[in-house]
């Protein structure tokens, strides 16, 4: 029996006001309907925003350490539900079970980390230039946050946004991806059962245009955090700017791995396979460009082709599966269109393509796909494909490799495999991305550090991390000057010494 997934508004599970629903299906076997989900529209968004606005004064006034205690309880509850939630991530999104459990673990890590921030929401006290006067800055919440999340980390990314928003004293309306509403509903249920007051965290399921856009545009939503495609992020940034809302987005990557002639080649191949084909390439940090030194190019290509060809596709719940399906029919066709485009642009496909054999017949499977003879100007080399598709380039030197790596509209993550410390140091300095990995693939960010990218990848403060990361997005500064001189004192207008 499919799950019935409702909205969660003001502490109650309710269907869409219109009564409409849509289906969530298993991408490994699209015949299986997993959930029947509230198909929300502006009226539902409005009810959720009202609830969030009403709950805001009480939540903002709750001492941050007390808010943290609820998040600690939520983290403990997530641990108890980890196996179940992880299995739902695999069923609904497709990634293999160990990765799905990692998705949940990331949410647990983030929830603990943000719970701790409840006792560390520090500002600064600084000396005043005037006598009998002091000055301090404090972090205060922003208000009601609209959070719009993608399907590729259906538990971790909502948790990345919800927990810093809540610890800072904001209230939240979450609009999760239409592909993964069951995961979002389970996460919200666990967080709320840990003791969040009604209205503090609300869930509205539905599609981008009909539920997401009304959330961004709602006059009582003070701030928006978005993770998803670059095109949608760009559009939402304009809508938010026109309405003077705080806005941050993370929207894509075209992440390179440089493999130098002095690299441990076997380690580099292992890393490239993990970076490119983990989560079937459906990560914003997935390695989609491999830039290989000419001296080891032939050996590298032979090894990665052989090992990528051996990866087993299938249902992510089966322990022998290496690569799960693409999340949906629409994404499946989008990735296949890019593969066809690569051939039309003149690149040479040596592996991969659609995979419909045996148990994969009814799912959206694409085998690890490799392109050689790719020019940096080709669309497959520049646009985010978000699937198991990799372009392999040659470079004659570290300089050429770094220039190729930086020649991208995106700047999320980059990696280098080298055993030469000078090469590593130069790459660390010159790669123009938000994340740089040395002798590791482009994926695997840890929650205690800021996450985000340069150029078109992102806008606004970084996700994750604490100060310098998520707290800069989910709080704003208030500065307080206190004059206890009992007379009029004028800053900047005193006597020059």
Q: How far apart are CA 19 and CA 28, in angstroms?
A: 28
Among all chains, which residue has been given the structure tokens 């499919």?
2
Least distance in angstroms from the C-beta of 373 to ligand ADP: 28
Residue from 89, 156, 200, 236 touching ligand ADP (CB under 6 A): that is 236
Tokens at 249, concatenated: 């987005």
329 lies in the binding site for ligand ADP (CB under 6 A):
no
Taking alpha carbons only, the member of 253, 315, 259, 260 closest to residue 458 is 253
Query: Which of 141, 212, 363, 465 is close enough to bind ligand ADP by CB under 6 A?
Result: 212
Q: How far is the CB of 66 from ligand ADP (least distance, A)?
A: 31
Task: Kindly tell me which residue out of 229, 349, 439, 454 binds ligand ADP, with binding defined by CB under 6 A.
Answer: 229
Binding mask 400-429 for ligand ADP (x = CB under 6 A): ------------------------------
- Of the residues 92, 179, 250, 463, only one is catalytic, namely 250
Q: Which residues contact 268 (CB under 8 A, 6 or more apart)?
A: 257, 259, 300, 417
Q: Using the rule CB under 6 A, is 249 a contact of ligand ADP?
A: no
Binding piece for ligand ADP, criterion CB under 6 A, among 25-33, 207-215, 376-384, 447-455: 207-215
Supply the DSSP symbol for 143.
Answer: S
Nearer CB in complex with ligand ADP: 237/321: 237
Cβ neighbours for 374, distance < 8 A, ≥ 6 positions apart:
342, 347, 380, 381, 391, 392, 393
Pick the stretch among 146-154, 316-324, 357-365, 435-443 that binds ligand ADP (CB under 6 A): 146-154
Nearer to ligand ADP (CB atom), residue 67 or residue 161? 161
Comparing CB distances to ligand ADP, the nearer of 215 and 301 is 215
- The C-alpha atoms of residue 53 and residue 143 are separated, in whole angstroms, by 8
CB of 468 to ligand ADP, least distance (A): 26
Minimum distance from CB of 486 to ligand ADP (Å)? 54
User: Contact between 252 and ligand ADP (CB under 6 A)?
Assistant: no
Torsion angle of the four alpha carbons 179, 369, 376, 341, in this order, in degrees rounded to the nearest 10 = -70
* Alpha-helical regions (H) of 62-118: 64-80, 82-93, 97-117
Answer for the pair 277, 368: CB distance below 8 angstroms, yes or no.
yes
Report the residue count for the chain.
Answer: 497
| Closest separation in Å from C-beta 444 to ligand ADP | 20
Beta-ladder partners of 413: 435
Cα gap 136→143, rounded to integer Å: 21
205 carries an active-site annotation: no
State yes or no: residue 150 binds ligand ADP (CB under 6 A): yes
Q: Is 208 in the site for ligand ADP (CB under 6 A)?
A: yes
Collect all residues with Cβ–Cβ distance below 8 Å to 330 and sequence separation of at least 6: none
Smaller CB separation from ligand ADP, 38 or 236? 236
- Cβ-proximal residues to 287 (8 Å cutoff; 6+ apart), any chain: 255, 256, 257, 272, 275, 276, 390, 415, 441, 442, 443
C-alpha count within 13 angstroms, C-beta hemisphere, residue 231: 3
Cβ–Cβ < 8 Å for 279, 286 = yes
> What mask of x and - would describe binding to ligand ADP in positions 168 to 187, judged by CB under 6 A?
-------x-xx---------
Decide: 441 and 274 in contact? Cβ < 8 Å.
Answer: yes
284 belongs to the catalytic site? yes
- With CB under 6 A as the contact rule, the residue among 5, 75, 148, 427 that binds ligand ADP is 148
CB of 387 to ligand ADP, least distance (A): 11
Calculated CA dihedral for residues 345, 348, 350, 353, nearest 10 degrees: 10
Catalytic residue (choose from 192, 205, 217, 284)? 284
The count of residues interacting with ligand ADP (CB under 6 A) is 17
Cβ 300 to ligand ADP shortest distance, Å: 30
Q: Are 45 and 13 in contact (CB under 8 A)?
A: no
- Of 23 and 193, which has the nearer Cβ to ligand ADP? 23
Q: Is 72 in the site for ligand ADP (CB under 6 A)?
A: no
Q: Please give the Cα distance from 241 to 486 (Å, whole number).
A: 42
Window of 4-12, 155-163, 204-212, 271-279 that interacts with ligand ADP by CB under 6 A:
204-212
With binding defined as CB under 6 A, does residue 209 bind ligand ADP? yes
Residues with a known catalytic role: 250, 284
Residues that bind ligand ADP (CB under 6 A): 148-150, 175, 177-178, 207-209, 212-213, 216, 228-229, 232, 235-236
């Amino acid at each position: 029996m499919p799950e019935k997934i409702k909205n969660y508004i003001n502490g109650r599970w309710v269907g869409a006001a219109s009564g409409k629903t849509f289906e969530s299906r298993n991408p490994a076997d699209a015949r299986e309907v997993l959930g029947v989900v509230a198909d929300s529209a502006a009226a539902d968004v409005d009810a959720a925003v009202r609830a969030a606005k009403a709950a805001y004064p009480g939540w903002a006034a709750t001492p941050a350490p007390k808010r943290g205690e609820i998040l600690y309880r939520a983290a403990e509850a997530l641990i108890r539900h980890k196996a179940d939630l992880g299995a739902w991530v695999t069923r609904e999104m497709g990634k293999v079970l160990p990765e799905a459990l990692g998705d949940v673990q990331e949410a647990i890590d983030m929830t603990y980390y943000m719970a701790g921030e409840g006792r560390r929401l520090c500002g600064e006290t600084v000396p005043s230039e005037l006598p009998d006067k002091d000055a301090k800055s404090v972090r205060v919440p922003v208000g009601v946050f609209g959070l719009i999340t993608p399907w590729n980390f259906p538990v971790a990314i909502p948790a990345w946004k919800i927990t810093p928003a809540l610890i800072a004293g904001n209230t939240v309306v979450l609009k999760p991806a239409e592909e993964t509403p069951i995961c979002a509903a389970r996460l919200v249920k666990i967080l709320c059962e840990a003791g969040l007051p009604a209205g503090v965290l609300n869930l509205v399921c539905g599609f981008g245009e009909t539920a997401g856009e009304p959330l961004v545009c709602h006059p009582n939503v003070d701030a928006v955090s978005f993770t998803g495609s670059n095109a949608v992020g760009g559009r939402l940034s304009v809508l938010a700017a026109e309405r003077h809302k705080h806005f941050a987005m993370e929207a894509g990557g075209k992440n390179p791995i440089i493999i130098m002639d002095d690299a441990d080649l076997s380690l580099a191949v292992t890393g490239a396979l993990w970076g490119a084909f983990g989560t079937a390439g459906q990560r914003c940090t997935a390695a989609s460009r491999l830039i290989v030194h000419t001296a080891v190019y032939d050996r590298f290509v032979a090894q990665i082709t052989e090992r990528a060809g051996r990866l087993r596709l299938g249902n992510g719940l089966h322990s022998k599966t290496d690569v799960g399906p693409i999340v949906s029919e629409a994404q499946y066709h989008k990735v296949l269109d890019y593969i066809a485009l690569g051939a039309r642009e003149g690149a040479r496909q040596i592996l991969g393509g659609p995979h419909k054999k045996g148990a994969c017949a009814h799912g959206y499977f694409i085998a690890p796909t490799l392109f050689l003879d790719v020019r940096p100007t080709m669309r497959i080399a520049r646009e985010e494909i978000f699937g198991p598709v990799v372009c392999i380039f040659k470079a004659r030197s570290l300089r050429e490799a770094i220039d190729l790596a930086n020649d991208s509209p995106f700047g999320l993550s980059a990696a280098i495999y080298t055993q030469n410390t000078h090469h590593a140091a130069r790459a660390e300095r010159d790669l123009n991305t938000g994340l740089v990995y040395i002798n590791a693939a482009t994926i695997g960010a840890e929650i205690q550090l800021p996450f985000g990218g340069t150029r078109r990848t992102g806008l606004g403060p970084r996700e994750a991390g604490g100060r310098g990361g998520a707290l800069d997005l989910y709080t704003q500064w208030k500065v307080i000057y206190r004059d206890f001189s009992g007379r009029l004192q004028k800053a900047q207008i005193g006597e020059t010494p």
